[in-house]
Amino acid sequence: MSTLLIRGGRIVDPANDVDSEGDVWIRDGRVVPAPADPDARADRTIDARGYVVMPGGVDVHSHIAGSKVNAARIMRPEERRGDARAMRRWRDFRSGTIGSVPSSFSTGYLYGGLGYTTAVDAAIPPLGARAAHAEFGDVPLVDKAMLVLMGNNHLVMEAVKSKDRAAVERTVAWLLDSARGFGVKAVNPGGVEQWKQGGARIAGWDDRVDGFDVSPREIVVALAEAVDALGLPHPLHFHGLNLGIAGNWEATLEGMKALQGRRVHMAHIQFHSYGGSPDAPADFSSQVGPLAEFVNAHAGISVDVGQVMFGDTTSMTADGPTGHYLANLTGRKWYNHDVEQEDGCGVSPIEYQDRNFVHAIQWAVGLEWFLRVDDPWRVALSTDHPNGASFRTYPDVIALLMDRNLRDETLARLPEKARERTGLKDLAREYTLSEIAIVTRAGPARILGLAHKGHLGPGADGDVTIYAPDDDRRRMFALPRWVVKGGEVVVDDGELRAAPIGRTLFAEVDVDPAARAALSARLGEAASFHPTNFGLGLEDLSEPLGVRTGARP
């Protein structure tokens, strides 16, 4: 029994409606009620008087493992050469390199260093799960989970075509269980398969996917229904059509409408909120207004932003046609990898420049999303790491949200035409500390359906971040004074003290043995591997922790 007392800090715990001074007790890795004995002492006490105490950060949408991430590392040595872009070996901690896609141990240390203790990789194809789980085992300090790609899955599309809801459910459950995933992701549903076939582009909700005779609308509705029927903690995690393309906002709105009130999480919504048309790039503009209005009116919809920050980064997506489009647009090196049965990935370097008209609007579109969604519980902070920027820019994003002047200063140096194409300059809202706590931890935890994360009530994970208040918000959030993971102090005054590997969260779903056998046999006919080697066991996961399904919160 080891206990930690965090004494006298300003506890910002919006999930429990707390913003006041108090103590946090942690015993054996979990938050516990304060002992009845007023003289009770803890094994270790942190004097947090004068500090701000929040739950550990939770990232609902990031790319931290798997073949796309590793391809980006291999392809981009130019951004990881030299002392300043590396982490030195220190004590028993591992060395690594940074760039826009840090090596595995560095990813964990850097997330932990920002006070983040949970990160979800949002795009793992079922066949890539074995490798991604192995990589998770080398990402310390954060609890990990993966969302499994299913929007272009052959067996899912066959089930959708049959209009048999139970068949879709069985297929989703089997895929999720085989990959030991946490949630279900759909990326450009049907559109990636169509592109892989070399067919006409899927741009609308009722276009048909050749060979499967299903539409994006049918796929996404069927997946959302299956996710709910299975009682998964996290709703369908959805990357829509036409990512990054001028004029895509209408398809985004139509996609949300297609779900007819079913719960859904809209991923990196910033990239789906543009006016104009592909033929007239000069008409590019923000269309956050009508989209945010729709989100505000529909409680079942949450979003993460996918904020763009200016600088050099790497785009990576399971949306192969988008990856191809981007690489051709920039003319830079391009990694593409088609994965059988489901998606694949495209990776290419990209630099967001403040003098670039389109990039400037993208930056403003992201901020508009934060400021136009009324309910902060339904907007999660993300940069779609590393797509919009590295997660290392989160303190900069937080500073922009809390300070209108800072936004105006940046706006002032953007192209004038870009300033006029967004509504950002008229948005006076400034986030409070409590709202920051919501969009960086409490909200994402609730969106993920993780009852033990994102708050500091009894039973919560003993993951705590303690900040020194600072008018310079960027500095405040970049350098937490202490970070506690599972009741253990892991960062103390910017120094790494311990690096527990963290848990791998997965959804415990029941799969009917007959369905498993039938689906496995079907997979075996088409696959390049033995279907027995498709499904993963708990021994293939690092510190697995099952999350129960079936009872929706």
Partner 1 sequence: MPTEALPYTCTFCGCLCDDLEIRAEGGRVVEAVGACGRERPYLIGIETTPGPPPPCRLDGVETTAEEAVRAAARILADAKAPLVVGLGRATNEAARQAIALADRIGAAIEVGDAASAWPRVVAMQRSGSIGATLGEVKARADVVVFWGCDPATTHPRHFERYSRVGRDGRRAIVLDAGETATSRLADAFLAVDPERELDLLLTLRALVREVPLDPHRVEAATGHGLAALQDLAETLQGARYGAWFMGASAGRGSIELAEARRQAVTALVRDLARKTRFVSIGLGEAGNAHGVEGVLAWQTGFTPGADLGAGFPESWPGESSASDRLARGLFDAALVVGGPAPAIPVGKPWIFLGDADDEASARATAALPAGAPGIDDSGTFTRVDGVSLPVRALRPSRTPGAAEWLARLNEALGGATS
Q: Within its chain, how far is the Cα of 340 from the centroid?
A: 24
Torsion of CA 25, 30, 33, 37, to 10 degrees: -60
Which tokens hold the place of 163? 């209009």
**Which run of H or of E encompasses 499?**
none
DSSP bridge partners of 546: 506
Q: Cα angle vertex 251, ends 248, 257, to 5°?
A: 145
Q: Assess 344 for contact with partner 1 (CB under 8 A).
A: yes
Distance between CA atoms of residues 319 and 244, nearest Å:
11
Q: Assess 276 for contact with partner 1 (CB under 8 A).
A: no
Torsion of CA 293, 297, 299, 303, to 10 degrees: -10
Q: With contacts defined by CB under 8 A, name the span among 155-163, 281-289, 391-399, 494-502 that binds partner 1.
A: 494-502
| 138/225 with CB nearer partner 1 | 138
Distance between CA atoms of residues 506 and 114, nearest Å:
24
| 7/337 with CB nearer partner 1 | 337
Q: With contacts defined by CB under 8 A, name the span among 21-29, 83-91, 225-233, 379-387 that binds partner 1.
A: 83-91
Q: Assess 75 for contact with partner 1 (CB under 8 A).
A: yes
Distance between CA atoms of residues 305 and 302, nearest Å:
10
Give the residue, chosen from 1, 17, 198, 297, that forms a contact with partner 1 under the rule CB under 8 A.
Answer: 198
Distance between CA atoms of residues 348 and 346, nearest Å:
7
Give the residue, chosen from 14, 56, 112, 128, that forms a contact with partner 1 under the rule CB under 8 A.
Answer: 128
| 61/68 with CB nearer partner 1 | 68
| 290/529 with CB nearer partner 1 | 529
Give the residue, chosen from 3, 62, 100, 104, that forms a contact with partner 1 under the rule CB under 8 A.
Answer: 104
Distance between CA atoms of residues 269 and 253, nearest Å:
11
Distance between CA atoms of residues 388 and 536, nearest Å:
32
| 105/284 with CB nearer partner 1 | 105
Least CB distance to partner 1 at residue 1 (A): 23
Q: Which residue has the tokens 């996290």?
A: 234
| 112/189 with CB nearer partner 1 | 112
Number of residues lying near partner 1 (CB under 8 A): 67
Q: What are phi and psi of 148, to 5 degrees?
A: -100, 130
Q: Assess 502 for contact with partner 1 (CB under 8 A).
A: no
**Maximal CA-CA distance, the chain:** 72
Say how many C-beta atoms besides its own lie within 10 A of residue 299's C-beta: 12
Instruction: Taking each helix axis as running N to C, give the angle between helix 513-526 and helix 154-161, from 0 to 180 degrees, rounded to the nearest 10.
Output: 120
Q: Assess 532 for contact with partner 1 (CB under 8 A).
A: yes
Least CB distance to partner 1 at residue 99 (A): 7
Q: Assess 275 for contact with partner 1 (CB under 8 A).
A: no
Secondary structure of 385-448 as H, E, C letters: ECCCCCHHHHHHHHHHHHCHHHHHHHHHCCCHHHHHCCCHHHCCCCCCHHHHHHHHHHHHHHHH
Q: Assess 123 for contact with partner 1 (CB under 8 A).
A: no
Least CB distance to partner 1 at residue 196 (A): 7
Secondary structure (DSSP) of 148-202: EE-TT-HHHHHHHHTT-HHHHHHHHHHHHHHHT-SEEEEESTTHHHHHHTT-PPP
| Sign of the dihedral through C-alpha 143, 479, 59, 350 | negative
Least CB distance to partner 1 at residue 502 (A): 11
Q: Assess 131 for contact with partner 1 (CB under 8 A).
A: yes
Q: What are phi and psi of 48, to 5 degrees?
A: -100, 15
Least CB distance to partner 1 at residue 341 (A): 7
Give the residue, chosen from 16, 45, 70, 356, that forms a contact with partner 1 under the rule CB under 8 A.
Answer: 70
Q: Assess 127 for contact with partner 1 (CB under 8 A).
A: yes
| 17/92 with CB nearer partner 1 | 92
Give the residue, chosen from 14, 113, 126, 140, that forms a contact with partner 1 under the rule CB under 8 A.
Answer: 140
Beta strands in 190-245 (DSSP E): 236-239
| 338/512 with CB nearer partner 1 | 338
Specify the 3-state DSSP secondary structure of 90: strand
Q: Assess 327 for contact with partner 1 (CB under 8 A).
A: yes
Distance between CA atoms of residues 168 and 163, nearest Å:
8
Specify the 3-state DSSP secondary structure of 385: strand
Give the residue, chosen from 7, 94, 298, 522, that forms a contact with partner 1 under the rule CB under 8 A.
Answer: 94
Give the residue, chosen from 333, 355, 413, 552, that forms a contact with partner 1 under the rule CB under 8 A.
Answer: 333
Give the residue, chosen from 17, 39, 83, 471, that forms a contact with partner 1 under the rule CB under 8 A.
Answer: 83
- Which amino acid appears at position 314 of this protein? T
Give the residue, chosen from 48, 501, 507, 519, that forms a contact with partner 1 under the rule CB under 8 A.
Answer: 501
Q: Assess 530 for contact with partner 1 (CB under 8 A).
A: yes
Q: Assess 188 for contact with partner 1 (CB under 8 A).
A: no
Q: Assess 81 for contact with partner 1 (CB under 8 A).
A: yes
Q: Assess 340 for contact with partner 1 (CB under 8 A).
A: yes
Give the residue, chosen from 97, 100, 194, 390, that forms a contact with partner 1 under the rule CB under 8 A.
Answer: 97
Residue 93 per-residue DSSP state: B
Query: Which residues sit at the interface with partner 1, rule CB under 8 A?
Result: 65, 67, 69-70, 73-78, 80-81, 83, 86-89, 92-97, 99, 102-106, 127-128, 130-131, 134-135, 137-138, 140, 196-198, 324, 327-328, 333-341, 344, 347-348, 498-501, 526-530, 532-533
